[in-house]
A and B are shown apart, each in its own frame.
Chain A
Amino acid sequence: MQEYFIIIISAVLINNIVLSQFLGICPFLGVSKKLSASLGMGGAVSFVLVLAGALTWTVQTYILNPFKIGYLQTIAFILIIAALVQFVEMAMRKYSPPLYKALGIYLPLITTNCAVLGVAIINIKKEYTFGKVMVHSLSHAAGFTLALVLMSGIRERLEDADIPESMRGTPIALVVAALMSMAFLGFSGLI
C-alpha cells in the first residue's frame, strides 16, 4: 500500500511531468490561456495517457518481450498511441457527442504529445507491474492536469498585467513556469 502511495506523491508533486520532467510542454504553453480549455485538454490527455499506459504495458509484456523484439518498442508504442487516439475520437463522436464537443479538438494534438509516449516508456523502464502502471499513469495524468490548471489561472491574470512588449506571450509564460517549477522543487523533501 505504502509503495502505491509513494508512486502517487512522487508522480503528482515531486516529479511533476511538466514542471520537472519537461514532458508535454507544447500543450502546457499552447492551451493554457483559458481555464476551461486547460480543463478540457487535461481531461483528454488523462484519458489517453491511462489507456495508452495499460495498452503499451500489455504489448510490451505479452508481445515484445516473449519474442525478444524489444528494439521495436518506439515504433510499436507510437503506432499504438496514434491508433488509440483515432479510436477514442471515433468512439467518443458516436457514443458521447457532448464529451466529444468538449474534448474533440484536443484529441488529434495528443498523438504528438510527448507526455503520453514518455510515461509509457518510463512505465517499462521502471519495470512496474500492471497495478503500478495504472497508478503511475493516473498520477502523472493528475499532475499534468494540475500544472495546466494552475498555469491557466495565472495566465488569465497576466492578461491584465503591464509586461514589456517583447516578453509578452510565450516568454513570460516560460518565466512563470520557472517560478512554478521552483515552488514544486519544495516538494522534493516530502519522501
Chain B
Amino acid sequence: MSLMSEFSKGIIKENPLLRLMLGCCPALAITTSVENGLGMGAAFTGVLIASNMAISAMRKIIPENVRIPVYVVIIASFVTMTDQLMHAFTPALYDSLGIFIPLIVVNCIILGRAEAFANKNPIIPAIIDAVGMGIGFTLALVLVSSFREVLGAGTFLGIQVLPESAPAILMILPPGGFITLGCLLGLMNKLQKKAA
C-alpha cells in the first residue's frame, strides 16, 4: 500500500515540474515537439531510476561529508552512458535534444531525489519513487509539448491536426515555452485550490 503511494506521489501531488518547479530548463527548451518531450522524459527516467538504485544500494558506505560529490559522480556516469546509448541508437533524437542530454547531470530533480529519498530508503522503494517521479516529469513534458506542438506547428506527434495556415509560430519559439509553462502553473494552482 505504501509502495503505491510512493509511486503515485510523483505523478500529481509532488509532480517535480508542475508542483515543485524543478527541472525547468529542459522543460522549456526541448518541448517544441511531443516526440522530443517523450524522448527527454525517457532519458531522464532512465537516469533517475539507475542513480536512485545505485545511491540507495550504497547509502551505508558513502561517507556523510562527501555525499554530494559522490552523488554527482554517480549521476554523471549514468548520464554519460545514456548519452552514448542515445548517440548510437537514436541519432535523430540525439541531435534534436543536443546539449540537454549532458545537462541532465545538473537537473535538480535527480540530485534532489538522491538527497531526499534514495539515501534514506532501501532499494525497492527507491526504484518505485524514481519510476513515479520519472513518469510525473515525462507527463508534464508531454503536456507542455502537446500545447506547443499543436498550437505552434499544427501537428501532434507529426500528424497534421490544424489547417496549415492556422499555427502561431511563436509557440514553438522561445517565448511560447515560457508562456505555456506559466499558464499551466497558474492553472495547476487554481485546480489545487478548488480541490482543497
Contact = CB atoms under 8 A, between A and B. Distances in A.
Contacts of A111: 72, 106
Interface of A: 19-26, 29, 71-75, 78-79, 82, 111-114, 117-118, 121-122, 125, 164-167, 170-175, 177-179, 181-182, 185
Interface in B100-120: 102-103, 105-108, 111
Contacts of A23: 25, 29, 103
Interface string B154-196: 0000000000000000100111111101110111011001000
A78 B173 CA distance: 29
B99 A178 contact: no
Interface stretch (B8-16, B49-57, B75-83, B127-135): B75-83
Contacts of A181: 174-175, 178
DSSP majority for the B interface? helix
A74 B79 contact: yes
B63 interface: no
B73 interface: yes
Which of B77, B170, B189, B190 has the most CB atoms of chain A within a 10 A radius of its CB? B189
Contacts, number: 116
A121 B102 CA distance: 9
B21 interface: yes
Interface residues of B, number: 40
Given A78-B105, A112-B106, A178-B177, 6 more contacts: A74-B102, A78-B72, A118-B103, A121-B102, A166-B189, A174-B185
Given A22-B177, A75-B76, A114 B69 contact: no
B28 interface: yes
B111 to A, nearest CB: 7
8 contacts: A23-B103, A25-B28, A114-B25, A125-B99, A165-B189, A171-B182, A178-B182, A181-B174
Given A72-B80, A74-B102, A117-B103, A26 B108 contact: yes
Interface string B36-80: 000000000000000000000000000000000100110011011
A175 B182 CA distance: 6
A170 B187 CA distance: 12
B76 A170 contact: no
A15 B25 CA distance: 15
A22 B187 CA distance: 22
A172 B182 contact: yes
Contact of B179 (A22, A113, A117, A175): A175
A21 B181 CA distance: 16
B73 A75 contact: yes
Contact of A71 (B21, B25, B84, B193): B84
B139 interface: no
Which of B28, B178, B179 has the most CB atoms of chain A within a 10 A radius of its CB? B178
Contacts of B99: 118, 121-122, 125
B40 to A, nearest CB: 12
B25 A22 contact: yes
Contacts of B181: 174
Contacts of B186: 164, 166-167, 171-172
B97 interface: no
A74 B174 contact: no
B190 A166 contact: yes
A-B pairs, 6 with minimum CB distance:
A174-B182, A178-B178, A22-B29, A166-B189, A178-B179, A171-B186
